[in-house]
């Protein structure tokens, strides 16, 4: 079966998430994958820190992380969308996202799980 460039990119990004977040995330779920000349998108959902549902959106080389409160209500974890192809240090970028998530989780919870 043929995998589109967006499927491959989404799979590669899930591998990066697994590596950087380590045991702080659950299974990645990829969806809304579109690979057309002027419309390239995918989304990835995962649970972070056993606490928040996180959504990663990629659209035409822009990307952003959200805390998904409901299907319609999301809180951005970044000041603005980033240009995916310009992020050269994913470890550093994702550590910043992790910091933003941890700011919103009680310290007691993080300590109990061994993440502080």
Give the per-residue pLDDT at 85: 95
Give the per-residue pLDDT at 103: 94
Give the rounded percent of residues in the chain with a pLDDT score beyond 90: 84
Whole-number Å distance between alpha carbons of 97 and 100: 5
Indicate the angle between helix axes 90-103 and 5-21, nearest 10 degrees.
60
Domain spans in the chain, listed from the N-terminal domain onward = 5-113
Mean pLDDT of 19-27: 92
Query: Could you report the per-residue pLDDT of 59-90, keeping only the tens digit for each?
Result: 999 999 999 998 889 999 988 899 999 999 99
Asked whether the predicted pLDDT for residue 1 surpasses 60, the reply is no
Give the per-residue pLDDT at 4: 87
Asked whether the predicted pLDDT for residue 2 surpasses 70, the reply is no
Give the per-residue pLDDT at 71: 82
């Amino acid at each position: 079966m043929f995998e589109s460039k967006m499927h491959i990119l989404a799979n590669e990004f899930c591998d990066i998430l697994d590596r950087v977040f380590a045991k702080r995330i659950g299974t990645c779920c990829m969806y809304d994958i579109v690979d057309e000349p002027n419309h390239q998108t995918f989304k990835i959902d995962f649970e972070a820190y056993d606490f928040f549902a996180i959504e990663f959106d990629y659209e035409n080389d822009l990307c952003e992380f959200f805390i998904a409160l409901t299907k319609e209500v999301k809180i951005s974890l970044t000041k603005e969308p980033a240009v995916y192809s310009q992020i050269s240090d994913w470890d550093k970028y994702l550590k910043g996202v992790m910091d933003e998530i941890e700011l919103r989780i009680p310290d007691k919870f993080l300590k109990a799980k061994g993440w502080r």
